[in-house]
């Protein structure tokens, strides 16, 4: 018997944040009978507000803003929150739970990280409550679906219990679950990190062996550059999985960096499209070869880069030096973008320089070597399939950078990108120049 085709769709915050967006979402679902599983984010702005509330649970005005926004949405969708017999909907029950949880945090000593994850999970839970009633869809609790460790705030998925979803699909045409959320084996709520709804959807698509994972957002696919910086940026029709993954890592906001990892070497294709313009082509991501002749498929830049240089005063006894450096970075949970090393010095770049001053890592590094910081750089990356095998890409880039000081050049660790550091003050100008040369002539 031939397996029935299956689509998993993830809808982001802007796709569930207004009556108009939800009407569009419903239209998309109704036109696609193969779309059987929906993964949703919190409505736009909700996670930020809940983060602020977690920091200060006494600020109940923040909570009431979240509640009012979702009540307004429910009313605009003509959903019954409390019926004539006083029966309360799931949405209203969640409001009560949020108030009780914040009150408990005010009067009891709590584990902050555990408290924050549980509080943040209400954002997605509210979206699920709204949409499941509006679409008449079955609900699967994400905490019972994606099992994680207890690293609150950045939990690692250990297992996806696909049988929970498969059973729900036997009895319902449409199943909805929350992105971003997981649960430990003991039943404690966890979160997968900011932007984790894409990751949840990919994990679910892989577990179900879905034919397609659709990522619905507010832009028409993956673009050649951030259109807010480069108005001439255009949607890329098709990308290779590894190239798209690198593009996400180096700054393309439309995809979470971990999204594509679960579906590598699978039969699941990914499509990124616009909830508000579903007829537009969007971007297909698969294991095939890129479309087009340009060596460069996209250009990204990450601002606010800090270079940390460690200068070893003594040349001898350097065995294990890098191991000690990376042990400290791991201890303080600081991730780096690029690393370079020479006989007497090692440099690495940090995307969130505030992390350096928020922990004692600089003091601890200074026990190993002299520490030098350089701020206000931007990391520009040219991304394309096997770009380093096309030497003219680097040659042309270097010509275009003539007259500008490049602090560091990075290539070789991946065949799909060439990156360099340049002064943040001129980054936008350089990006536009590179984009015009590589991506506006084809």
Which residue ranges make up each domain of the chain?
7-217, 298-439
Classify domain 7-217 at the CATH topology level: Carbamate kinase (3.40.1160)
Please state the three-class secondary structure of the chain as a single string.
CCCCCCEEEEECHHHCCCHHHHHHHHHHHHCCCCEEEEEECCCCCHHHHHHHHHHCCCCHHHHHHHHHHHHHHHHHCCCCCECCCCCECHHHHHHHHHHHHHHHHHHCCCCHHHHHHHHHHHHHHHHHHHHHHHHCCEECCHHHHEEECCCCCCCCEEEECHHHHHHHHHHCCCEEEECCEEECCCCCEEECCCCHHHHHHHHHHHHCCCCEEEEEECCCCCECCCCCCCCCCCECCEEEHHHHHHHHHCCCCCCCCCCCHHHCCCCCEEEEEECCCCCCCCEEEECCCCCCCCCCCEEEEEEEEEEEEEECCCCCCCCCHHHHHHHHHHHCCCCEEEEEECCCEEEEEECCCHHHHCCCHHHHHCCCCEEEEEEEEEEEEEECCCHHHCCHHHHHHHHHCCCCCEEEEECCCCCCEEEEEEEHHHHHHHHHHHHHHHHCCC
pLDDT at position 158 is: 95
pLDDT at position 108 is: 79
pLDDT at position 1 is: 41
Average pLDDT, the chain: 87
- Intervals of the chain under pLDDT 70: 1-4, 82-86, 251-252, 289-293, 314-318, 358, 412, 441-442
CATH 3.40.50.740 applies to domain 298-439: no
- State the pTM of this model: 0.86
pLDDT at position 254 is: 75
pLDDT at position 316 is: 52
pLDDT at position 392 is: 83
């Amino acid at each position: 018997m031939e397996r029935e085709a299956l689509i998993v769709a993830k809808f982001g915050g802007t796709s569930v944040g207004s009556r108009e967006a939800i009407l569009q979402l419903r239209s998309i679902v109704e036109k696609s009978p193969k779309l059987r599983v929906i993964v949703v984010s919190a409505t736009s702005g909700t996670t930020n507000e809940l983060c602020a509330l977690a920091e200060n649970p006494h600020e109940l005005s923040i909570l009431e803003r979240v509640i009012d926004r979702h009540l307004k949405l429910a009313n605009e969708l003509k959903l019954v929150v409390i019926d004539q017999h006083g029966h309360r909907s799931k949405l209203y029950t969640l409001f009560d739970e949020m108030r009780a949880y914040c009150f408990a945090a005010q009067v009891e000593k709590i584990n902050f990280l555990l408290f924050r994850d549980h509080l943040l999970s209400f954002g997605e839970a509210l979206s699920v409550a709204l949409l499941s009633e509006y679409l008449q869809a079955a609900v699967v609790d994400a905490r019972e679906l994606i099992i994680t460790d207890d690293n609150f705030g950045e939990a690692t998925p250990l297992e996806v219990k696909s049988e929970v979803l498969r059973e729900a699909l036997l009895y319902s045409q449409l199943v909805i679950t929350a992105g971003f959320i997981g649960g430990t084996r003991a039943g404690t709520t966890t979160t997968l990190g900011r932007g984790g709804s894409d990751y949840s959807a990919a994990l679910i698509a892989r577990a179900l062996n879905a034919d397609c994972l659709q990522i619905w957002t507010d832009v028409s696919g993956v673009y050649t550059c951030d259109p807010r910086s480069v108005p001439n940026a255009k949607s890329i029709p098709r990308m290779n999985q590894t190239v798209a993954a690198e593009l996400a890592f180096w700054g393309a906001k439309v995809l979470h960096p971990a999204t594509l990892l679960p579906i590598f070497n699978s039969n699941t294709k990914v499509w990124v499209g616009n909830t508000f313009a579903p007829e537009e082509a969007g971007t297909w991501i698969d294991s095939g070869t890129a479309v087009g002749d340009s060596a460069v498929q996209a250009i990204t830049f990450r601002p606010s880069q800090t270079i940390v240089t460690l200068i070893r005063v003594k040349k001898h006894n350097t065995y294990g030096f890098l191991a000690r450096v990376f042990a400290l970075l791991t201890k303080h949970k600081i991730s780096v973008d690029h690393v370079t090393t020479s006989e007497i010095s090692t440099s690495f770049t940090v995307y969130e320089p505030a992390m350096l001053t928020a922990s004692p890592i600089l003091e601890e590094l200074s026990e190993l070597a002299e520490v030098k910081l350089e701020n206000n750089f931007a990391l520009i990356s040219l991304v394309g399939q096997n770009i380093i095998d096309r030497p003219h890409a680097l040659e042309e880039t270097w010509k275009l950078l003539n007259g500008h000081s490049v602090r560091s050049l990075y290539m070789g660790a991946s065949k799909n990108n060439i990156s360099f550091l340049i002064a943040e003050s001129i980054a936008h100008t350089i990006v536009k120049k590179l984009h015009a040369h590589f991506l506006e002539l084809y």
